[in-house]
A and B are shown apart, each in its own frame.
Chain A
Amino acid sequence: MASLPVRRSGVDTLASLEAAVDAVVRRQPVRPGGDPGSDVITAIHETPERPAVFEEMPDWLRPELAAAYRAKGIDRLYSHQAAVAQAARAGANVVVVTPTASGKTLCYNLPVLNAILENRDTRALYLFPTKALAQDQLAELHDLEERLGDAFGVFTYDGDTPADARRAIRERGHVVLSNPDMLHAGILPHHTRWMRLFENLRFVVIDELHTCRGVYGSHVANVLRRLRRIARFYGSDPQFLCSSATIANPGELAERLAERPFELVAENGAPAPRKTFVFYNPPVVNRRLGIRRSYINESRRVAQEFLARGLQTLVFANSRLNTELLLTYLLEANPAPPGGEPAIRGYRGGYLPGERREIERGLREGRIRGVAATNALELGVDIGSLDVVVMAGYPGTIASTWQRAGRAGRRGGHACAVMVASSAPLDQYIVTHPEYFLGQSPERAFIEADNPEIFLNHLKCAAFELPLQAGERFGRIEVDEPAQALETAGFLHRTGGAWHWTDEAYPADAISLRAVTSDNFVILDTTHGEPEVIGEVDFTSALTTVHPKAIYLHDGTFYAVERLDFDDRKAYVHEVRTDYYTDAIRYTQVRILEQAARKPIGSEPAAGAHGDVLVRSQVVGFKKIKFFTNENVGAGELELPENEMHTTSFWITLERPFIAALPYSVSERQAGLYGLLHALEAVATLLLMCDRRDIATAIGERPGEPGPNGAPAARALPAEGSPGVEQGEFFEPNLYLYDAYPGGIGFSEPLFRLSAELVERTRELVRACPCENGCPSCVGPAETGVETKQVAMAILGRLCG
């Protein structure tokens, strides 16, 4: 096969792009009025070219800074850059919503550098979600530093910073580029060394603010509390400048994270090329079971249409494994010329910086024609702009879909993005409801900074940094009560109106901002004699994935679990060839401790509520399920410890008349309830911008009226994947969607607020699915002959009514 054609002129590119889109589309034309879900191309969305909106450089700008930017070819600002600069100048905290490649760096560099040039004592701290992004910004700031005759110092401070360079950074760094993790474990606990920085700290920049959500965001909010507390100690009160991808609540998120009022700049003044966004749903091959063609294969086919026409194409996959698969396929189709370098490359985390720079350069120079990447290429890294982005699978959030799509788009050209949906419910919802995706962003980022586990851990760090004063507030909470609890536990000691740290340990070391819990199980492979560590799973997944006799899949290889050493947190496995996988049976019991609010939903007697719950769960057994046929080929019992967790939950109560009015048999009603919960969970992750692991579900009998101290326990009932277990009918079922993190992470209250939207979107998801009685894309696989989907639709109809 011939090597790929080299890049042609702009006009040709345009023509090839149109030809390629045609080829993709022509193969599977849109059929208006066709059966929903059966279309392959579900939408083609065109965005016309958008010209830039400029404003003059502000008149207060220092002439040398204006000159430095002019020398870089920037003599005017985009309107949003000007708005941020103005607001920052006025002392406001600002959050700016910027798509990829719209010049967001300048939004904060301009006001920050101007302030430094006005007063050389001024200091700024930039926080990036990844080290790679900080490195990119370093290059840009170094360039400005040079143009300004070394008028300021800029350094990165992260785990890679050599010890001997650190002193210089602390003294001379006007701008310190770091990340929340380093601030948490390396800077704040040693703040006396950073006196110069903290005494003069005027700006804190948070890049990619929308990544600070869920557990991680809740940690970051507490790190910022500690940062403000230390700054206050040294007499400073920094201003926050943040950037975020497009989400529904950037202002709210910023305010929750930094606990300050924010000014929002959402109008974007950067130009954008003409863009075509194609929604591609792989064709159905088995209608009854709702099975579609492999989205990986379809993505490859789509990408090849573009590559073959000489268009520079970036293919995103959602896992390393799929990235490697796509890379292999694309290399087969486009081999390197004899003796030449390959025109298709892979790109993912774990590549060395030099290697990454080389690929980025190759892309900019056009030597590399195609890249298969993980989300490592999603955030800000400068690779120039490509012609086409193909996404193999929905990236999980609308915000990151736009960020990935934004990788395509040369100035004055025509860009194309294709989203190829997998059969996961979320993918199916998006691909069948493009208007939802293309409309006003519905995604909200949530955090719960007062989650007890997270709050107390950071309060410990805060006490290590400075004694806690009686009556002091940490965030919104007065520290006295929690500090007393920490005193009782022996971490603190109270004297003279303050609590002092009394433990030898350095508390920040024990707390990771990224890991859900630090309690992980190590997977040890004994296939080759000496046990060898092949991976780790967190505590909660361990019980369902590496229980004794489980089949554990790792990096494409199957392992059987021989032994689970619960006390030492180890699972011993060996490689096997198998024709089945295992599915754990977990009994989950939810007890409502306190109901915070309740309101009716829909026309029939049903209600939504949220509050604190106690979740007890235990893995009691497993099923063996045959590949491809999904037959149940065996089962086993397990004795594993019970797990107990306080958390928060949203739940829907279906009252007796509601259930009784459903025209289905008892067993069908039960199946329908579980199916409904399956679909609700998928849509909840969409609305909450969270991972499927962040939420868990259960069904339980509605308890009697809650007493003063919580409620009587509901009957222990199986949930999760075991609708087939023999049981009586729920009299008045509660459908729980609870936060899968001790203490809750702030999803329940928003779900309660959004409950009308939740049921409405869930109905849309189920209705649009072309399967007969249920499939993994909507209500989960249905047993033959059981009208799971129909029951779920009937319930949803009444809930939406």
Chain B
Amino acid sequence: MRWLEKDRMEAVSALRRVRAPAPSAAGEDSPRGRDQIAEMLGASIERNRYGEFLRIERWLAEPEPCANPEALALVLPSLAESSVLADQEQWLFLDTETTGLSGGTGTCAFLVGLAWWERGGLRIEQLFLRDYDEEHAVLFALAERMAQRPVLVTYNGKSFDWPLLDTRFRLTRQIEPEAFRAHLDLLHPARALWRLEWGTARLGELERHVLGIERGPDILGELIPQIYFDFLRGGSAQPLVPVFRHNQSDLSSLAALAGHMARLAAAPEQAQPLEQYGLSRLFERRGERSRARRVYEMAIASGLPVALGRAARRRLARLARRDGAVDLAHSLWQELAAENHGQAWQSETLSAFSGEDDPAERKQTLETILEACEQLAIHAERIERDAAEAILWTRRAEHLLAEADGIDRRCRERWQARLARRLERLNRAPNRAISRLTGTAPNPARRPARG
């Protein structure tokens, strides 16, 4: 092809690259001196029918296996059967290092980090591709390990590591891993437990804040692909050493985090208030209602920030109502409805309440209080058979809605319609003696005599 001649190729911008590839460092490692690399990394060579690859092994005395592995199920709402957790021998911790973060078929996991409990500590095994032609061998080895330990434990593995590996398996057109029994992705419970407190759910951050581990110098994740590319093009293996270490740290933190989560789930009373709030939400999602209620109460009692306290009360009240704990629900709704007693509903006061300027937060606060009024109206109508009281609560909600600003139109209209329907129905009710009360606000501090 004429255009492929060298001088013409230079003009083609498709060949221009933002970052030039590192010059291959001849001499440092002989180009295909694969055994030397193994030596440098303290690795051994593993062979199977698809070829060979490097294996790096470590054993760590810490972390130790979970004392109460089954408790972990409590914070994993999507886990169908908790019995898979009982046998910790079956767990396989997994974390990969890849050639990119964008996904798609062109991204490869060049390092597959695995770990499992062994002799009271953690055995780490890293499978490394010295070049792309070793990928099938690594994937085959991974499939073998997964068959032995079919409970996968990852951090963000459901969205990232596993889809990527699944793509790589499919691309082989011949290696098919057996389906794992369960995939425990700890990212989701970690978010619920710690993001409120630390503003992040990155594993490295949680390691420091939650587990109290100082990792020491670590490599920036975004540099990793380029380090591997440079190595592929004949660069030294030395820059890869921190990548292996990084992966090992992530694996041991992952294992430690699993134990920590299980401990918290088993003994919520030892958790921090924010963790308790997160735990009860996870319990609730898992359908552990009484456990959830108990921990919501703990969290409220141990003192949550105002907005969260309100949210916790609301959730607890809903749970209590559904479980038929009418008194508990009623007193919580009353607490919530009383919070703004005597205050005008301007946005400043609203934000003063929520402790935040965030409009979403403000909206949530308002909706919580509206819901409280509504629930009190329902309580008055159905349980206390006091239509006048019910109308008073509904009117109060209408009043609040009318005075509140800073909420979007759709939300306002939805509530307006909902409250108007209720009022209309209440007014049609046989007991019309209540009309005398219209226009006056009830005393929210007043607790009904009957229960």
A residues sitting closer than 8 Å to B (CB atoms) are 189-193, 195, 233, 450, 452-453, 456-457, 460, 463-467, 477, 481-482, 485-486, 489-491, 493, 495-496, 498, 500-507, 509, 517, 593-594, 612, 644-646, 742-743
Across the interface, which residues of A come within 8 angstroms of B1, CB to CB? 450, 477, 481
Contact of A452 among B12, B17, B133 (CB under 8 A): B12
Across the interface, which residues of A come within 8 angstroms of B13, CB to CB? 453, 517, 742
B131 contacts A490, CB within 8 Å?
A: no
A466 contacts B8, CB within 8 Å?
A: no
Known: A189-B104, A189-B105. A490 touches B17 (CB 8 A): yes
Known: A452-B12, A490-B21, A594-B2. A495 touches B133 (CB 8 A): yes
Q: Mark B146-169, 1 if CB is under 8 A from A, else 0.
A: 000000000000000000001100
B132 contacts A452, CB within 8 Å?
A: no
Q: B175-183, B226-234, B248-256: which one contacts chain A?
A: B226-234
A743–B15 Cα distance when bound, in Å, is 13
Tell yes or no: B100 within 8 A of A by CB. Answer: yes
Across the interface, which residues of B come within 8 angstroms of A466, CB to CB? 105, 171
Most chain B Cβ neighbours within 10 Å, of A464, A477, A486, A645: A464
Known: A490-B17, A504-B102, A505-B100. A192 touches B132 (CB 8 A): no
Q: Mark B1-27, 1 if CB is under 8 A from A, else 0.
A: 111100011011111110111000000
Across the interface, which residues of A come within 8 angstroms of B113, CB to CB? none
A451–B4 Cα distance when bound, in Å, is 11
Known: A490-B21, A495-B132, A496-B131. A452 touches B105 (CB 8 A): no
A489–B233 Cα distance when bound, in Å, is 12
- Taking CB as reference atom, which chain A residue is nearest B16? A489
Most chain B Cβ neighbours within 10 Å, of A453, A504, A506, A612: A504
Q: How far is the CB of A760 from chain B (nearest CB, A)?
A: 31
A195 contacts B170, CB within 8 Å?
A: yes
Q: How far is the CB of B234 from chain A (nearest CB, A)?
A: 10
Would you list which residues of chain B between 221 and 265 have a CB under 8 Å from chain A? 225-226, 229, 232-233
Tell yes or no: B141 within 8 A of A by CB. Answer: no
Across the interface, which residues of A come within 8 angstroms of B45, CB to CB? none
Across the interface, which residues of B come within 8 angstroms of A489, CB to CB? 15-17, 21
A500 contacts B132, CB within 8 Å?
A: yes
Range for the number of chain B residues in contact with chain A: 35 or more
Tell yes or no: B334 within 8 A of A by CB. Answer: no
- Taking CB as reference atom, which chain B residue is nearest A518? B13
16 sample A-B contacts, Cβ–Cβ < 8 Å, listed by A number: A192-B170, A450-B3, A464-B105, A477-B1, A489-B21, A490-B229, A491-B15, A493-B233, A495-B133, A501-B99, A504-B100, A506-B100, A506-B102, A506-B103, A517-B13, A645-B11
Known: A481-B4, A493-B132, A646-B8. A453 touches B14 (CB 8 A): yes
Contact of B131 among A481, A491, A495 (CB under 8 A): A495
Most chain A Cβ neighbours within 10 Å, of B4, B15, B108, B131: B15
Tell yes or no: B106 within 8 A of A by CB. Answer: yes
A450–B1 Cα distance when bound, in Å, is 9
Most chain A Cβ neighbours within 10 Å, of B16, B17, B173: B17
Across the interface, which residues of A come within 8 angstroms of B12, CB to CB? 452-453, 456, 742-743
B232 contacts A192, CB within 8 Å?
A: no
Across the interface, which residues of A come within 8 angstroms of B104, CB to CB? 189-190, 464, 506
Across the interface, which residues of A come within 8 angstroms of B3, CB to CB? 450, 452, 612, 646, 743
Known: A453-B12, A495-B132, A742-B13. A500 touches B2 (CB 8 A): no
Known: A189-B106, A489-B16. A467 touches B132 (CB 8 A): yes
Tell yes or no: B101 within 8 A of A by CB. Answer: yes
Contact of B167 among A192, A481, A490, A493 (CB under 8 A): A192
B11 contacts A644, CB within 8 Å?
A: yes
Summarize A's interface: helix, strand, loop or mixed.
mixed
Q: How far is the CB of A747 from chain B (nearest CB, A)?
A: 16
Contact of B14 among A460, A463, A490 (CB under 8 A): A460
B11 contacts A506, CB within 8 Å?
A: no
A456 contacts B133, CB within 8 Å?
A: no
B14 contacts A452, CB within 8 Å?
A: yes
- Taking CB as reference atom, which chain A residue is nearest B164? A192
Beyond A481-B1, A495-B131, 18 additional pairs, beta carbon < 8 A: A189-B105, A190-B104, A193-B167, A452-B3, A452-B14, A456-B14, A465-B105, A477-B1, A485-B15, A490-B21, A490-B229, A496-B133, A500-B132, A502-B232, A506-B104, A517-B13, A593-B8, A743-B3
A504 contacts B101, CB within 8 Å?
A: yes
Q: How far is the CB of B32 from chain A (nearest CB, A)?
A: 10
Across the interface, which residues of A come within 8 angstroms of B105, CB to CB? 189-192, 464-466
Q: How far is the CB of B404 from chain A (nearest CB, A)?
A: 32
Q: How far is the CB of B128 from chain A (nearest CB, A)?
A: 15
Across the interface, which residues of A come within 8 angstroms of B131, CB to CB? 495-496
Across the interface, which residues of A come within 8 angstroms of B108, CB to CB? 500
- Taking CB as reference atom, which chain B residue is nearest A499? B132
Q: How far is the CB of A475 from chain B (nearest CB, A)?
A: 11
A509–B104 Cα distance when bound, in Å, is 12
Most chain A Cβ neighbours within 10 Å, of B9, B102, B106, B232: B106
Contact of A493 among B9, B225, B232 (CB under 8 A): B232
Contact of A485 among B9, B101, B102 (CB under 8 A): B9
- Taking CB as reference atom, which chain B residue is nearest A646? B11
A588–B3 Cα distance when bound, in Å, is 22
Contact of A490 among B20, B133, B170 (CB under 8 A): B20
Across the interface, which residues of B come within 8 angstroms of A503, CB to CB? 17, 100, 229
A381–B241 Cα distance when bound, in Å, is 60
Across the interface, which residues of B come within 8 angstroms of A485, CB to CB? 4, 9, 15
Across the interface, which residues of B come within 8 angstroms of A517, CB to CB? 13
Known: A464-B106, A646-B8. A502 touches B14 (CB 8 A): no
Across the interface, which residues of B come within 8 angstroms of A233, CB to CB? 173
A504 contacts B16, CB within 8 Å?
A: no
Across the interface, which residues of B come within 8 angstroms of A490, CB to CB? 17, 19-21, 229, 233
Across the interface, which residues of B come within 8 angstroms of A742, CB to CB? 11-13
Across the interface, which residues of A come within 8 angstroms of B8, CB to CB? 452, 593, 612, 646
Across the interface, which residues of B come within 8 angstroms of A477, CB to CB? 1
Known: A453-B12, A489-B16. A465 touches B167 (CB 8 A): no
Across the interface, which residues of B come within 8 angstroms of A646, CB to CB? 3, 8, 11
A598–B328 Cα distance when bound, in Å, is 96
A495–B130 Cα distance when bound, in Å, is 11
Q: How far is the CB of A193 from chain B (nearest CB, A)?
A: 8
Q: Mark B193-219, 1 if CB is under 8 A from A, else 0.
A: 000000000000000000000000000
Across the interface, which residues of B come within 8 angstroms of A465, CB to CB? 105-106
Contact of B15 among A456, A495, A507 (CB under 8 A): A456
Across the interface, which residues of B come within 8 angstroms of A501, CB to CB? 99, 106
Would you list which residues of chain B between 261 and 316 have a CB under 8 Å from chain A? none
Q: Which 10 A-B pairs have the closest CB atoms?
A: A464-B106, A490-B21, A496-B133, A456-B14, A504-B100, A506-B102, A501-B106, A189-B104, A192-B170, A192-B167
A669–B444 Cα distance when bound, in Å, is 99
Q: How far is the CB of A499 from chain B (nearest CB, A)?
A: 9
Q: How far is the CB of B207 from chain A (nearest CB, A)?
A: 25
A485–B166 Cα distance when bound, in Å, is 31
Across the interface, which residues of B come within 8 angstroms of A463, CB to CB? 106
Q: How far is the CB of A748 from chain B (nearest CB, A)?
A: 13
Across the interface, which residues of A come within 8 angstroms of B106, CB to CB? 189, 463-465, 501, 506-507
A337–B108 Cα distance when bound, in Å, is 66
Most chain B Cβ neighbours within 10 Å, of A486, A500, A502: A502
A503–B100 Cα distance when bound, in Å, is 7
- Taking CB as reference atom, which chain A residue is nearest B166? A192
Across the interface, which residues of A come within 8 angstroms of B15, CB to CB? 456, 485-486, 489, 491
Q: How far is the CB of B373 from chain A (nearest CB, A)?
A: 35
Across the interface, which residues of B come within 8 angstroms of A644, CB to CB? 11
A644–B7 Cα distance when bound, in Å, is 13
Across the interface, which residues of A come within 8 angstroms of B101, CB to CB? 504
B229 contacts A502, CB within 8 Å?
A: yes
A593–B5 Cα distance when bound, in Å, is 12
